[in-house]
Amino acid sequence: MTARRFVRNTVCVNAVLAAVAGAVSLAVAGKGPGFAALAGGLAGSLNVLVIGLIAMRMFSPGAGRASTVALLLVKMGVLAGLALLAVGILSVSPVGLAIGVSTTVVAVLSMSCFVALRGDGVTL
Protein backbone atom coordinates (compact mmCIF):
# COMPACT_ATOMS: atom_id res chain seq x y z
CA MET A 1 0.00 0.00 0.00
CA THR A 2 1.37 3.40 -0.88
CA ALA A 3 1.57 6.16 1.69
CA ARG A 4 -0.82 8.32 -0.31
CA ARG A 5 -3.42 5.54 -0.36
CA PHE A 6 -2.93 4.91 3.37
CA VAL A 7 -3.54 8.58 4.17
CA ARG A 8 -6.59 8.71 1.87
CA ASN A 9 -8.09 5.60 3.46
CA THR A 10 -7.37 6.90 6.96
CA VAL A 11 -9.12 10.20 6.17
CA CYS A 12 -12.13 8.29 4.79
CA VAL A 13 -12.33 6.03 7.86
CA ASN A 14 -12.02 9.07 10.11
CA ALA A 15 -14.80 10.88 8.24
CA VAL A 16 -17.13 7.90 8.67
CA LEU A 17 -16.27 7.58 12.38
CA ALA A 18 -16.77 11.32 12.88
CA ALA A 19 -20.17 11.15 11.18
CA VAL A 20 -21.20 8.27 13.45
CA ALA A 21 -19.89 10.08 16.55
CA GLY A 22 -21.69 13.25 15.48
CA ALA A 23 -24.96 11.40 14.88
CA VAL A 24 -24.75 9.66 18.24
CA SER A 25 -23.91 12.96 19.96
CA LEU A 26 -26.82 14.65 18.22
CA ALA A 27 -29.18 11.91 19.37
CA VAL A 28 -27.90 11.72 22.93
CA ALA A 29 -26.75 15.22 23.86
CA GLY A 30 -28.45 17.58 21.43
CA LYS A 31 -27.40 20.08 18.79
CA GLY A 32 -24.46 21.73 20.57
CA PRO A 33 -22.27 18.69 21.27
CA GLY A 34 -23.44 16.94 18.11
CA PHE A 35 -22.32 19.66 15.74
CA ALA A 36 -19.16 20.13 17.80
CA ALA A 37 -18.37 16.44 17.33
CA LEU A 38 -18.88 16.81 13.59
CA ALA A 39 -16.59 19.86 13.52
CA GLY A 40 -13.99 18.05 15.61
CA GLY A 41 -14.11 15.08 13.26
CA LEU A 42 -13.62 17.37 10.27
CA ALA A 43 -10.68 19.04 12.00
CA GLY A 44 -9.21 15.63 12.81
CA SER A 45 -9.59 14.46 9.21
CA LEU A 46 -7.89 17.57 7.89
CA ASN A 47 -5.16 17.13 10.51
CA VAL A 48 -4.47 13.55 9.36
CA LEU A 49 -4.41 14.67 5.74
CA VAL A 50 -1.93 17.47 6.38
CA ILE A 51 0.28 15.30 8.60
CA GLY A 52 0.34 12.64 5.87
CA LEU A 53 1.30 15.15 3.20
CA ILE A 54 4.03 16.62 5.41
CA ALA A 55 5.37 13.14 6.23
CA MET A 56 5.47 12.20 2.55
CA ARG A 57 7.34 15.41 1.84
CA MET A 58 9.77 14.75 4.69
CA PHE A 59 10.70 11.30 3.41
CA SER A 60 10.91 12.24 -0.26
CA PRO A 61 14.40 12.50 -1.72
CA GLY A 62 15.86 15.99 -1.75
CA ALA A 63 13.33 17.47 0.66
CA GLY A 64 14.49 20.22 2.97
CA ARG A 65 14.18 19.08 6.57
CA ALA A 66 14.04 22.59 8.04
CA SER A 67 11.16 23.70 5.83
CA THR A 68 9.28 20.48 6.58
CA VAL A 69 9.66 20.99 10.32
CA ALA A 70 8.52 24.59 9.89
CA LEU A 71 5.42 23.39 8.04
CA LEU A 72 4.68 20.93 10.84
CA LEU A 73 4.99 23.68 13.46
CA VAL A 74 2.72 25.98 11.45
CA LYS A 75 0.15 23.16 11.16
CA MET A 76 0.23 22.60 14.92
CA GLY A 77 -0.18 26.32 15.56
CA VAL A 78 -3.12 26.60 13.18
CA LEU A 79 -4.82 23.55 14.73
CA ALA A 80 -4.34 24.89 18.27
CA GLY A 81 -5.57 28.32 17.17
CA LEU A 82 -8.68 26.86 15.56
CA ALA A 83 -9.46 24.84 18.70
CA LEU A 84 -9.04 27.90 20.92
CA LEU A 85 -11.14 29.99 18.54
CA ALA A 86 -13.90 27.38 18.47
CA VAL A 87 -14.05 26.89 22.23
CA GLY A 88 -13.25 30.41 23.40
CA ILE A 89 -14.95 32.73 20.94
CA LEU A 90 -17.54 30.61 19.13
CA SER A 91 -18.62 28.80 22.32
CA VAL A 92 -18.44 25.34 20.77
CA SER A 93 -18.91 22.47 23.23
CA PRO A 94 -15.39 21.32 24.22
CA VAL A 95 -16.66 17.81 25.03
CA GLY A 96 -18.22 17.43 21.59
CA LEU A 97 -15.09 18.80 19.96
CA ALA A 98 -12.95 16.30 21.88
CA ILE A 99 -15.27 13.45 20.88
CA GLY A 100 -14.92 14.39 17.23
CA VAL A 101 -11.14 14.78 17.33
CA SER A 102 -10.74 11.49 19.21
CA THR A 103 -12.13 9.60 16.22
CA THR A 104 -8.80 10.37 14.56
CA VAL A 105 -6.95 8.11 16.98
CA VAL A 106 -9.36 5.25 16.30
CA ALA A 107 -9.03 5.77 12.53
CA VAL A 108 -5.23 5.78 12.57
CA LEU A 109 -5.05 2.71 14.82
CA SER A 110 -7.63 0.78 12.79
CA MET A 111 -5.88 1.52 9.49
CA SER A 112 -2.50 0.59 11.00
CA CYS A 113 -3.94 -2.71 12.26
CA PHE A 114 -5.50 -3.33 8.85
CA VAL A 115 -2.16 -2.85 7.11
CA ALA A 116 -0.33 -4.99 9.68
CA LEU A 117 -2.85 -7.84 9.55
CA ARG A 118 -2.89 -7.74 5.79
CA GLY A 119 0.87 -8.28 5.82
CA ASP A 120 1.45 -5.39 3.48
CA GLY A 121 3.80 -2.55 4.28
CA VAL A 122 3.38 1.12 3.51
CA THR A 123 5.70 2.41 0.82
CA LEU A 124 6.38 5.93 -0.29
For 61-86, write each residue's pLDDT tens digit. 777 778 888 888 999 899 889 888 88
Q: Using the predicted structure, report yes or no on whether residue 44 has a pLDDT greater than 70.
A: yes
pTM comes to 0.81
Distance CA 86, CA 33 (A): 12
Distance, in Å, from the CA atom of 119 to the CA atom of 124, rounded to the nearest integer, reads 16
**Which pLDDT tens digit goes with each residue over 83-105?**
888 888 888 888 888 888 888 88
Residue 124 and residue 60 in contact, taking contact as beta carbons nearer than 8 Å: yes
Burial, 56: exposed, middle or buried (Cβ in 10 Å; 0-12, 13-18, 19+)? Answer: middle
> DSSP states of 57-86 as a string?
HHTSTT--HHHHHHHHHHHHHHHHHHHHII
